[in-house]
C-alpha cells in the first residue's frame, strides 16, 4: 500500500469521481460530463475570490491611510489622540467583523435555504 492510498483513500480519476446525489449540482462531477470544465470553474472561482480580496484590502488600506483625516472630520473630540483612537477602533471593528461575518454567512450558505434548493431540487 502506497502513501497516496493511505493519505487519500478516495479516487480522483475516472468518470465516477464523487457521484453522490448530494453533489449532483456540480456539473463537472456528474458521470459522463466533460472533465474539462473543472479547471475553467476553478480558475473562475480563483479569479473571483482574488478580486474580492483585492477590493477588500484596498478598502482597508484606504481607511488606514486616511484615518487621521477621518478622525478629524468624523470623530471630533477634545484631543486629537482620542479622535484618532476612536477612528482606529472603528477600523479594528471592521477588521475583526470580516472573519466573523464570513463564519456566520458561510455556515448559512452551507445550511440555508439556497443550499437546500441546490441539493434537493
pLDDT of residue 110: 79
Sequence-ordered list of residues with C-beta below 8 angstroms from that of 83, at least 6 positions apart, any chain: 71, 72, 75, 76, 77
pLDDT of residue 75: 87
Low-confidence stretches of the chain (pLDDT beneath 50) = 1-17, 24
pLDDT of residue 66: 92
Mutual orientation of helices 80-111 and 67-74 as an angle, nearest 10°? 100
pLDDT of residue 14: 44
Amino acid at each position: 500500500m502506497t502513501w497516496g492510498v493511505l493519505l487519500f483513500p478516495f479516487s480522483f480519476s475516472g468518470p465516477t469521481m464523487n457521484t453522490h446525489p448530494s453533489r449532483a449540482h456540480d456539473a463537472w462531477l456528474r458521470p459522463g460530463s466533460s472533465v474539462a470544465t473543472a479547471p475553467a470553474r476553478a480558475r473562475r472561482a480563483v479569479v473571483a475570490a482574488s478580486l474580492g480580496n483585492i477590493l477588500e484590502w484596498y478598502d482597508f488600506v484606504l481607511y488606514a491611510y486616511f484615518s487621521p483625516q477621518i478622525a478629524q472630520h468624523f470623530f471630533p473630540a477634545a484631543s486629537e489622540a482620542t479622535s484618532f483612537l476612536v477612528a482606529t477602533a472603528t477600523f479594528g471593528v471592521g477588521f475583526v467583523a470580516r472573519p466573523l461575518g464570513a463564519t456566520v454567512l458561510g455556515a448559512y450558505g452551507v445550511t440555508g435555504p439556497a443550499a437546500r434548493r441546490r441539493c434537493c431540487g
